[in-house]
Structure 1
């Protein structure tokens, strides 16, 4: 028996795959490689190249492999870009999830761990986000993730689907030097690319009501995130009680200024970030509680900020041409 990881050739999905293998659990990967990399998939893991919008391909995958559950990581994950590409975002995140759920139903696969997002909260009016914080997404991306959660909820009523959704903010770091974040939109790759190109990274605003004046956000290490996906799958396999949603949050967060200082220390590239005007609508602090996930999903912050920056930098350096 194996778990199917959709998007398993991507940054987060590939770490989830490694975490399953480390626990002795077989996996199968499906990925269209629109943002993933085939070399991120271990050679001993069955790899299906294609889109989860292809219901026939999904049915074949379920027929050819003994799948017990699905970790659904595939999706279009760029909140800012989703505002310009709403139809694409809904197709990739809502329609594709519906196609996947239909194929699971046909194959009698009744377990899913869904990669959701803290974007479902929008700009919460609280310093500490919990699972009960009102949902008010502010982008097609955030809306599509919330609809994905609704689809799981409704299929649970209709078919008995056992499921949970994991919400998280900013995922960084690397669990191994051969896996890295290659997104052109995420903070760490942007900062590293700027430094390597001789440019000075920029901070948007330093007049927020925080200790150093820069925004405080939740950053979590990708390897810690992956462990909790496996714990959720194990809980579903065992038929143990599980919440419909969990926040994977740090509980305290770090500031953008702290990140920049840590980047300078870890890389050995001394710089002072440029200060740009603050962006409209950016709140001072957004941090999530991970208490429920700590109780049920082996969630904990095993990596410090220094670890997050160092592992991300080492993985990026390992990928540079010799």
Structure 2
């Protein structure tokens, strides 16, 4: 396949570009580098551009295409920031995607894999979240992604755009070869913050938000999915769209929940040192348990996550963080 990867300089997009290259697929990356890293684009042609510029998108699709598939990762994704700056999130995540879809219609491209999120569901109503779970987002970030999912259905009905929305739970880990990995400014994710704390030799600084949740050890339980498993799901979704017509959605997680304390303990085993932390008040809106039911992705796409053990996931991230290349 020839694939256009929007946001391919970011954490997930760059790993997908490497996975595409290993399967002999050709990719072109478009990124405005607002949060991505030019150094992470190592397997693709790179074009610096912004999805908020519709004429530029049309030009890229016309001059670089035709593409067999478009993958869309350009998004603002910090929950707290979305509450403070909702206009930024609706403009980038919703209006930007509308620009892309209109450019696809104008240039006769009709296959899209969209990066969605578990945040579309809001507060969990049951232990395992499947695709039938209510979508009731509780912040502008989740709402912006839900809006795009709804738009995708309408664009399929009206314009024939075929799509797959992949709803990630907690993306984590890094390329096992250590060539690319996770780097955000600011960093809000648990595993990189643990590992950076270990590298810095900090005796404090890592914060655990709440230890009195109704879970076995009192800390929140989350579903951690390795970024390479996300990559394989995106490629399978792209292949699925070559043969199937519709606007589809799949939940992606490894199906196992790990508490914050379990992740810290696993990290201690990987880095072979103690991890200091402080207990802080719970954050508003944090559910006690958030775990995916990915049965549908397994059955329909034939997807099978390779990383299900939390220590092996952390070990790949540790390899990266010890020698970050950008």
Q: Same fold (TM over 0.5)?
A: yes
In structure 2, what is the equivalent of residue 182 of structure 1? 183
In structure 2, what is the equivalent of residue 127 of structure 1? 127
The CA distance in 1 between the partners of 2:32 and 2:289, in whole Å, is 36
In structure 1, what is the equivalent of residue 47 of structure 2? 48
Q: Which one of 249, 258, 262 corresponds to residue 262 of structure 2?
A: 258
Q: Is the 8 A contact 2:30 2:48 kept in 1?
A: yes
What SS is found at the alignment partner of 1:296?
helix
Q: Is the 8 A contact 2:28 2:44 kept in 1?
A: yes
* 1:82-137 CA-partner distances (Å, limit 9, x unpaired): 11111111111000000000101011000000000000011112111110100111
What is the root-mean-square deviation in Å for CA atoms of aligned residues? 1.7
Shift of 1:265: 1.4
**Structure 2: which 5+ residue stretches go unaligned?**
none
Shift of 1:241: 5.9
* 1:18-77 CA-partner distances (Å, limit 9, x unpaired): 1111222111110000011111112x5211101011112111211122212211111111
Q: Is the 8 A contact 1:202 1:274 kept in 2?
A: yes
What SS is found at the alignment partner of 2:114?
strand
**Structure 1: which 5+ residue stretches go unaligned?**
none
* 1:123-177 CA-partner distances (Å, limit 9, x unpaired): 1121111101001111110000001111111110111111110001110000241
Q: Which one of 192, 196, 200 corresponds to residue 195 of structure 2?
A: 192
What SS is found at the alignment partner of 1:95?
helix
In structure 1, what is the equivalent of residue 208 of structure 2? 203
The CA distance in 2 between the partners of 1:181 and 1:242, in whole Å, is 32
* 1:239-264 CA-partner distances (Å, limit 9, x unpaired): 23666110002222111111001111
Q: Is the 8 A contact 1:76 1:92 kept in 2?
A: yes
Shift of 1:189: 2.3
Number of matched pairs? 319
Change (3 A) 1:272 1:45: closer
Matched, 1:115 2:126: no
